[in-house]
Amino acid sequence: AQSVTQLGSHVSVSEGALVLLRCNYSSSVPPYLFWYVQYPNQGLQLLLKYTSAATLVKGINGFEAEFKKSETSFHLTKPSAHMSDAAEYFCAVSPLKTSYDKVIFGPGTSLSVIP
């Protein structure tokens, strides 16, 4: 079964500092991978997705993630944190088989940005 782990349920960074949110997946074959963001009192929104094309994926709001097969990782980064980045971030995995499209989410990482 596919699963996702996110190291660190809560991360705090200073405004302007590097953001690094960790995601590791377990799968027998490389899956599709996603990062979603949930701002307070809002629904989940897609930040970016990996679909077996380029291993470095760029998303919205300056975020990017790199797929590393050898490490089974898909960490999310942003060079310079902004106050508006404070939110809950979820990594998700979906298998490549088109007949089985269930999307599994990790437990999430809450990002705080300190002025």
Partner 1 sequence: DTGVSQDPRHKITKRGQNVTFRCDPISEHNRLYWYRQTLGQGPEFLTYFQNEAQLEKSRLLSDRFSAERPKGSFSTLEIQRTEQGDSAMYLCASSLDRVRSGANVLTFGAGSRLTVL
Contact pick of 43, 70, 84, 115 for partner 1 (by CB under 8 A)? 43
The reply to whether 98 sits near partner 1 by the rule CB under 8 A is yes
Beta-strand relationship, 10-14 and 109-114: parallel
Nearest-approach distance from CB 101 to partner 1, in angstroms? 5
Contact pick of 7, 29, 103, 114 for partner 1 (by CB under 8 A)? 103
Nearest-approach distance from CB 16 to partner 1, in angstroms? 27
The reply to whether 1 sits near partner 1 by the rule CB under 8 A is no
The reply to whether 25 sits near partner 1 by the rule CB under 8 A is no
Q: Kind and range of the H or E element at 88?
A: strand 87-94
Angstrom distance (rounded) from CA 111 to CA 90: 11
Residue 33's nearest CA partner among 62, 75, 61 is 75
Nearest-approach distance from CB 67 to partner 1, in angstroms? 13
The reply to whether 32 sits near partner 1 by the rule CB under 8 A is yes
Q: Which parts of 64-93 interact with partner 1 (CB under 8 A)?
A: 90
Burial class of residue 29, CB neighbours in 10 A (0-12, 13-18, 19+)? exposed
With a CB cutoff of 8 Å and minimum separation 6, the contacts of 73 are 22, 23, 24, 25, 66, 67
The reply to whether 40 sits near partner 1 by the rule CB under 8 A is no
